[in-house]
Chains A and B, each alone.
Chain A
Amino acid sequence: MSDTTTDAKSHHLIDRVVIRFAGDSGDGMQLAGDRFTTSSALLGNDIATFPDFPAEIRAPAGTLAGVSAFQVHISDHHISTPGDQPNVLVAMNPAALLANVGALPQGATVIVNSDAFDDRSLAKAGYEVNPLEDGSLGAYTVYEVPMTSITTEVSKGAGVKPRDAERSKNFFALGLVSWLYTRPIEPTLAWIAERYAGKELVLEANQRAFKAGYNFGETAELFESAYEVKPAVLEPGEYANVTGNTATAWGLIAASLRSGLPLFLGTYPITPASDILHELSKHKQFGVRTFQAEDEISGIGAALGASFGGALGVTTTSGPGIDLKSETMGLAVSLELPLLVIDIQRGGPSTGLPTKTEQADLLHAMYGRHGESTMPIIAARTPGHCFEATLEAVRIAVTYRTPVLLLSDGYLANGTEPWRLPELEDLPAIDPDFATEPNHVGDDGVPSFWPYIRDEETLARPWAPPGLTGLEHRIGGLEKSDGSGNVSYDGANHERMTRLRAAKIAAIARDIPPTDVDGQEGAEVLVIGWGSTYGAIAAGVERVRARGHAVAQAHLVHLHPFPADLGDVLRRYRRVLVPEVNLGQLSRLLRAEYLVDAVSFTQVRGVPFRAAAMEEALLQQIASLTADEEGAS
């Protein structure tokens, strides 16, 4: 098609596409993916992203261990997952190709940096024969683009050393994909100018590489046409593309503003939770105090100390960190002080898979402390929902004077979606309702303050931070006498206090919304999940319905206590399917609590469920019910 002019190149309209950028850890693939996502968001597409990177900061270059990938799904309609299989793979080297080619459907587009397919790089990746030459990629449309050499070439004359110039090749790739999907170039050029201000050579090299990539697409005779994904129809409003960790940090600031409680974050850096600390530490003008503690224990200890003083005490962690915090959570249960513990779950046990997602801490959240020490549990279900879930967790912690566990995970933490920006005034108000006066009169007629006299409705005890005369009191981890709070070893009192603490948490069920069921007439199968499986379950349900089957979906935000109607909801369906990224934790709780024969469907591969897997699991359940009926008749 050598006579095709640029203008004649048509824009094929497509409804959605999944693109995966893959390269070495040092190749800047996360950045390229992130910028592509932003320009798509600005264009009005619905988006969902899935960054997938190794735990090593710089694994040996060119090896499979060092491959870092960023998958983005852009669409002209609502989507709930980053996509099962990439339609387009950008592979910056042989290792990136080898690590990702297995995920591609037949007919996918593969764009490779052909400069990187030399003998040495092929050997490093473990290729004996060059896959670009042996026909093994026959099922795909492969474009070989010499990204390194063009990138180096275009920066000649800009004063950049060839070695440094080569590092801009991620922007070349970004430029090329931007052309292929008709993204505007201005936002990216402006972003480069802002990001690299003061580093003129780098700025220049990156902009040149980006434009070169874009122009390459337009002028090279390689691509038949560019594609266009029209904006999605989203609810009117102002949007930002947020990660779960950013939404969590903003949720904490919102909770601080809506409660009037100064925010104190005590934490120890740990993947994938650290970005909450990074984000909050930038916003001190909100009165935010961030404390990078000497360890996980100190992080939660300091947060609890801040709560005792009348602040909003928060700690963030993941994996092994949640184990270390258990003792202090127990103290908070005993002290009955508000405290928020945020667990960004990752693969375990032990160090496990630090950068990969998992939702295997539910039973730990539920039972991971000695003694009867129950705590409310809230789980976020999408990156944007982390904001709302954080506010809800704070509301419960403050209202009921209790530590609350908020569960997120690595997938939500780093994944993004367009999120409609709320107005501060529309967010729920949180009333600290501090104690202001003595609440007890002793036998001697002198008024005093008893820290364990409870509110009749909520069973919450008064919160009296130091500062008020006449409210001086001592609390501690020893069992307390009901009412006075004085140390008590009396067995009957211990039983009363143990039951009161449990009853207080159980009663929160009255103060939360009923189970959110997306039902369908005639559905006999209910699929119920929690946390980050939401998107994949919703996509699976949509597919099953499109095939003409009826199926109901419920997703739990409150995991302890459960919504009051949950048992009734579960019993309405003949089959209850519980997909989880663990070995069956919610399913176990549902079976124990409601005596329903919940069917567990699990995987623990460090990645989210695919919609296709969910679809298959649902179809299997529907088929088995039908088979049961036929068997019975």
Chain B
Amino acid sequence: MTDLAEPAPATTRKDWSSDQEVRWCPGCGDYSILAAVQMLMPELGVRRERTVFLSGIGCAARFPYYMNTYGMHSIHGRAPAIATGLATTRPDLDVWVVTGDGDALSIGGNHLIHALRRNVNLTILLFNNQIYGLTKGQYSPTSEVAKVTKSTPFGSLEQPFNPLSLALGAEAGFVARTHDMDRKHMMETFRRAHAHKGASFVEIYQNCNVFNDGAFGQITGKDHRADMLIPLVHGEPIRFGAEGQFGVVMDPDGSVEVAEVAAVGEDALLVHDEHKENPGLAFQLSRLSRGPFEPTPIGVFRDVERGEYGEQMADQIALATERRGPGDFAALLRSGSSWTVG
């Protein structure tokens, strides 16, 4: 194995790109996410042989084939479970999980929440396009109510998940959102997610130009961004708008809402705090917008460190070994009653 004491060799985006032809639909938002990840890797100073991309099923799940690292394209919804086994036995690896709204929140919902709760050292990228792409256009657990799709010709009846609220409810320590139209913001968000020890969860608004084109256009389009995206910056008042004319304030009941700075005054603006132990603020911010048609916060909602699962597991092994000495097989066999014949 490589000597980890040595600094990782310098690499370029090309080093991180596999020889496989990328086969997403032309114009798919996945291309820009792949580019952002491939461009970020050389900057992280990490090693290809210590990096693993793991995925389940869906359009996003083809991602590992395109990274020149170790990788596994597994089965629907199970990537967080498989990644849990890998990350807890191999703390030396960077394990990335690439998933989609159906994979992570529908068929794999159980694995996602438990990986977050356990705080397994994973960087989870959830490509949210609010539609099932690979099965050609059914509604997903993030599709809006009344959505007309192939499987809901009369409109969907289901309340969608809010992925960030869900992650926060599942005790995630790192929760962020970015979108596929802003490479710089993606790279910065992924960098932060990678730096976080434990489970990090990033929702990426991703356009499916075939089955749900323009789902996020109202907020991510270059012309509307300034007024519709609310950048969260730790320690700064939450403020947005082309002229900085809008901000976020907290009501006496603890809920948050958008206000005009001129009306409430600068001092009334809520100051963002990623590191608040209590996830209440992050939760309120995750629900500020009812969907990608209202001003929507992006950036890091929460970044709180706590014990990482694999490391704690290793600590227990170390402690047991320290107390009892390394495993003695002959003693194990005699740990109950034993007797000698002849």
**Interface residue ranges, A against B (CB under 8 Å):** 38, 41-42, 44, 187, 231, 234-242, 246, 250, 253-254, 257, 262, 264, 266, 283-289, 291, 293-295, 297-298, 301-311, 313, 327-328, 330-331, 335, 421-424, 465-478, 486-487
Contact = CB atoms under 8 A, between A and B. Distances in A.
B49 A467 contact: yes
B339 A295 contact: no
B53, B75, B323, B325, most chain A CB atoms within 10 A: B75
Nearest to B51: A466
B78 A301 contact: yes
B327 A257 contact: yes
Contacts of B337: 38, 41-42, 187, 240-241
B341 A289 contact: no
B320 A284 contact: yes
B179 interface: no
A477 B74 contact: yes
Nearest to A427: B329
B340 A302 contact: no
B90 A474 contact: no
Interface stretch (B79-87, B213-221, B249-257, B268-276): B79-87
Nearest to B325: A285
Query: Which 3 residue pairs across A and B have the least CB separation, nearest first?
Result: A236-B342, A476-B73, A305-B85
Contact of B85 (A38, A284, A304, A468): A304
A244 B336 CA distance: 14
A287 B327 contact: yes
B293 interface: no
A476 B65 contact: yes
B324 interface: yes
Interface in B186-216: none
A416 B326 CA distance: 28
Contacts of A288: 317
Task: Please classify the interface of chain A as helix (H, G, I), strand (E, B), loop, or mixed, using the class held by over half of its residues.
Answer: mixed
Contacts of A307: 85
A279 B286 CA distance: 43
B88 interface: yes
A253 B329 CA distance: 8
Nearest to A420: B341
A99 B334 CA distance: 37
B48, B81, B111, B342, most chain A CB atoms within 10 A: B81
Contacts of A306: 85-86, 88-89
B230 interface: no
A320 to B, nearest CB: 16
Contact of A284 (B20, B92, B317, B338): B317
Interface in B93-124: 93, 110-111, 113-114
Contacts of B57: 477
Nearest to B64: A474
Contact of A472 (B68, B84, B321): B68
Given A424-B330, A474-B64, A474-B72, A311 B338 contact: no
A285 B324 contact: yes
B136 to A, nearest CB: 17
B135 interface: no
8 contacts: A250-B333, A287-B321, A289-B88, A291-B84, A308-B86, A309-B90, A330-B75, A467-B92
B2 interface: yes
B70 interface: yes
A242, A305, A467, A469, most chain B CB atoms within 10 A: A305
B276 to A, nearest CB: 27
B264 to A, nearest CB: 44
Interface in B297-342: 313, 316-317, 319-321, 323-327, 329-330, 332-334, 336-342
A234 B338 CA distance: 14
Contacts of A474: 18, 53, 64-65, 67, 70-73
A204 to B, nearest CB: 23
B83, B84, B89, B93, most chain A CB atoms within 10 A: B89
Given A306-B86, A308-B86, A476-B64, A236 B74 contact: no
Nearest to B329: A424
Contacts of A310: 89-90
Given A44-B339, A313-B85, 15 more contacts: A231-B341, A240-B333, A262-B89, A266-B81, A284-B317, A285-B321, A287-B327, A301-B78, A303-B85, A306-B89, A311-B89, A327-B78, A421-B333, A466-B93, A477-B74
